[in-house]
Each structure stands twice: as structure tokens, then as C-alpha cells.
């Protein structure tokens, strides 16, 4: 089984991607868009169950998956993929699916793309998903306890918001700021995040 290379926060290409979409024409268009963007599409699935099997076998860097598919819907498939820590999921959805997909945000769904979509819609979603997945893995390596990990993630998300506003950073840069501050000060990321939110840590570029 091939090893998956770590994807640093903010990296947009090239990634090894599995595509799951039951409509063949949309799937073909999607694969073409991804390959033209420089990514390597290593597997295709027409239903959610096959998607989960492919991801477990191929260990891609990212999964692009439709929310509505036969055998196993995209939400359930994303929960299996994310729950096993296999890969981040970019979910293809329509406006009417918004409430449904929000329930899967903790299960590996790192970004959403609304249908109909273009290559310009896919690119930032892939970048965001890869960056958020790298953050999740960094938090998992620092915090073993699940409850503490969730609390740390909430604190880090709040601190990222403060840093993005005060230093005009994007999401990935804000996370790297917290990570570096934690290493420099020999603290946990949650401690740094709490200090940023409380105003005790003065954000500087």
C-alpha cells in the first residue's frame, strides 16, 4: 500500500486525488479539470461505497466527492473516510444540501464546492481542504485525548480569526503563526490560542 505524503498547510498542487461522482459526464469534467490543474487523479468511483474502498486502498492526499450517491451517500462516506483519518474530503453540493453537509464538517469534509462549478471554484477549495487537514493532523499529534483535541481545535479556530483580522493573514498563515509561537515558547497550541484570544499574546508578523 503506498504511503501518503504529508501535505503542508497552504499547498495547492500537485495532489493525488480520488474522485467520487455518480454522474459520468460530471465525473469526466471533474477529472479533466483536476488534471489540467496539475493534480494526479488516481481513482474514480461512481458510488460512496466504492469511494471508501478506493480511499482505503490508494491512500490519496484528497477526495473530491458528490454529496448524493448510490449505495452510500457522500456524507456517510465522508464520515467513514474522515473517521479513519484517511484523507480530507472536498464535498460537491447544491444550495439545498447546506444543512446536511454541515453535519459532516467534523468528519473529514474540509471544504465545499457548489454546483455548477468551474476550475476556479475547485482550486481554492482544494487549497483550503489540504490546509485544514494538515492542521487537524498537527493537532492530533499534539493532543491525544479526543475531548481535549476538540477543545483545542475550537480555541485555535478562534485565535485564527483574531490573527487573520489583526495581521491580515489567510487561514493557513494564521495557523502557522500559532504553531510557530507554540514551538518558540515551548507551549501547547491551545495555550497560545487562548492567549491570543485573551489579548495576552500580542500578534506580530
Q: Per-residue confidence at 144, pLDDT binned at 50, 70, 90?
A: confident
Instruction: Give the per-residue pLDDT at 205.
Output: 57
Tell me the domain boundaries of the chain. 14-116, 141-196
Which CATH superfamily groups domain 14-116? Response regulator (3.40.50.2300)
pLDDT tens per residue, range 174-198: 988 998 888 888 888 889 999 999 8
Instruction: Give the per-residue pLDDT at 184.
Output: 87
By the 10 Å C-beta count (0-12 exposed, 13-18 middle, 19+ buried), 12 is classed as middle
pLDDT tens per residue, range 97-143: 666 766 767 667 899 898 889 999 999 999 999 988 888 888 888 77
Residues 6+ apart with CB under 8 A from 63: 17, 18, 19, 20, 51, 55, 78, 81, 87, 88, 89, 90, 108
**Same fold flag, 14-116 and 141-196:** no
- Global pTM reads 0.72
Share of the chain above pLDDT 70, in %: 84
Q: Which of these CATH numbers, 1.20.1600.10, 3.30.70.420, 3.60.20.10, 1.10.10.10, describes 141-196?
A: 1.10.10.10
Amino acid at each position: 500500500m503506498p504511503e501518503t505524503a504529508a501535505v503542508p498547510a497552504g499547498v495547492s498542487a500537485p495532489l493525488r486525488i480520488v474522485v467520487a461522482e455518480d454522474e459520468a459526464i460530471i465525473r469526466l469534467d471533474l477529472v479533466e479539470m483536476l488534471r489540467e490543474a496539475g493534480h494526479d487523479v488516481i481513482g474514480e468511483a461512481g458510488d460512496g461505497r466504492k469511494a471508501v474502498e478506493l480511499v482505503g486502498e490508494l491512500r490519496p492526499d484528497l477526495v473530491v466527492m458528490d454529496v448524493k450517491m448510490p449505495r452510500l451517500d457522500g456524507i456517510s462516506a465522508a464520515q467513514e473516510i474522515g473517521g479513519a483519518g484517511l484523507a480530507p474530503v472536498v464535498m460537491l453540493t447544491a444550495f439545498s444540501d447546506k444543512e446536511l453537509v454541515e453535519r459532516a464538517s467534523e468528519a473529514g469534509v474540509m471544504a465545499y464546492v457548489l454546483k455548477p462549478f468551474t476550475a476556479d471554484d475547485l482550486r481554492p477549495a482544494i487549497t483550503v481542504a489540504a490546509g485544514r487537514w494538515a492542521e487537524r493532523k498537527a493537532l492530533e499529534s499534539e493532543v491525544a485525548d479526543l475531548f481535549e483535541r476538540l477543545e483545542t481545535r475550537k480555541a485555535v479556530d478562534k485565535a485564527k480569526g483574531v490573527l487573520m483580522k489583526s495581521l491580515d493573514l489567510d487561514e493557513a498563515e494564521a495557523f502557522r503563526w500559532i504553531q510557530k509561537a507554540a514551538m518558540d515558547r515551548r507551549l501547547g497550541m491551545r495555550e497560545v490560542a487562548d492567549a491570543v484570544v485573551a489579548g495576552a499574546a500580542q500578534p506580530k508578523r
